[in-house]
Copies of this chain bind each other. A is one copy, B any other.
Amino acid sequence: MESTNQLQKDAPIGVFDSGVGGLTVFREIMQQIPNEKMIYFGDTARVPYGSKSKETITRFSRQIVRFLRTHHVKTIVVACNTASAYALEALQAEFDIPIIGVVEPGAKVAAGTTKNGNIGVIATEGTIGSRIYNTYINRLNPDATIYGKACPLFVPLVEEGWLNDSVTHEVASRYLAQLTDKDIDTLILGCTHYPLLRSTIQKVVGGRVTLVNPAYETAVTLQHLLSDMDLLNPKAPSPGEQQYQFFVSDKAERFLEFANSIIEHGIPTAQTIQIEEY
């Protein structure tokens, strides 16, 4: 394990994702624990992670954790389902600060929400292939049956901005038919981009199916974790103190454009770093 100094209450939280999607998690944390400082990293030079291998995602994630630690973060949130599915266990074993992912919090809520025991999960190929949601849900609810479906066109459709659109509706209908056929009553939006398609997805699956957004549940879990460890920041940053910082591995312009559509009040700047040097 890499050693660390004593963790400080006023240290920032590190949050990372393959690109912009993790900002939906960042936003939930901002809203739920507004005193906290945060450092966000988006791996925009190597995005997306969803179709890449466990070995590659773990290597990339390890570099990012090393980078975030140079900012003396007190905890890290892996705000990407694919990285949570593939790399979280290795990161937790290698580093000695608390690291949480987005999968377990979402799985926990889904396991408690379902009435008929039929849970759908939509996510990237990597997350579905890992069967990680199955593992976590069945630990809590061994009788639940989980139906996974990879939806590789959802991220590019979101990035094209076609959120409420006939093409997106048709694509969603095809992807989700295999799940609605199974009489699911709960559906996990298992990729950070998918909550942006929430209204189209809800129309396709019908009002009887409860959608679970792991971003929200992750912020709740983080707050409990920090509280249990007595690491919640007791006071808001002073005026003039920088509360949020953003870093990316490719140029910042495109990141900022999308980021500013997600984060209220906007993000003024993001700094580019060479992540493979960490």
Contacts and interface: CB of A to CB of B under 8 A. Distances in A.
Interface of A: 44-46, 51-53, 55-56, 152-153, 156-157, 159-160, 166-167, 170-171, 174, 249-251, 254, 276
Contacts of A171: 167
Nearest to A171: B167
13 contacts: A45-B46, A52-B250, A53-B251, A55-B250, A55-B251, A56-B249, A152-B159, A153-B153, A166-B170, A167-B170, A167-B174, A170-B170, A276-B276
Contacts of A157: 153
Given A46-B46, A167-B167, A170-B167, A56 B250 contact: yes
A174 B166 CA distance: 12
Nearest to A44: B52
B160 A51 contact: no
A250 B167 contact: no
State the copy count for this chain.
2
A56 to B, nearest CB: 5
Given A45-B46, A152-B159, A156-B156, 14 more contacts: A44-B52, A45-B56, A46-B46, A51-B159, A51-B254, A55-B250, A55-B251, A56-B249, A152-B156, A152-B160, A153-B157, A166-B170, A167-B167, A170-B170
Nearest to A254: B51
A150 B116 CA distance: 45
A157 B154 CA distance: 11
A45 B51 CA distance: 9
Contact of A53 (B51, B55, B56, B250): B250
Contacts of A152: 156, 159-160
A150 to B, nearest CB: 10
Chain B CB count within 10 A is highest, among A46, A159, A174, for A46
A250 B48 CA distance: 13
A249 B56 CA distance: 9
Nearest to A19: B51
Contacts of A160: 152-153
A251 B166 contact: no
A214 to B, nearest CB: 23
Contacts of A159: 51, 152
A19 B53 CA distance: 14
A249 B46 CA distance: 12
Contacts of A153: 153, 156-157, 160
A53 to B, nearest CB: 4
A174 B161 CA distance: 14
Contacts of A170: 166-167, 170
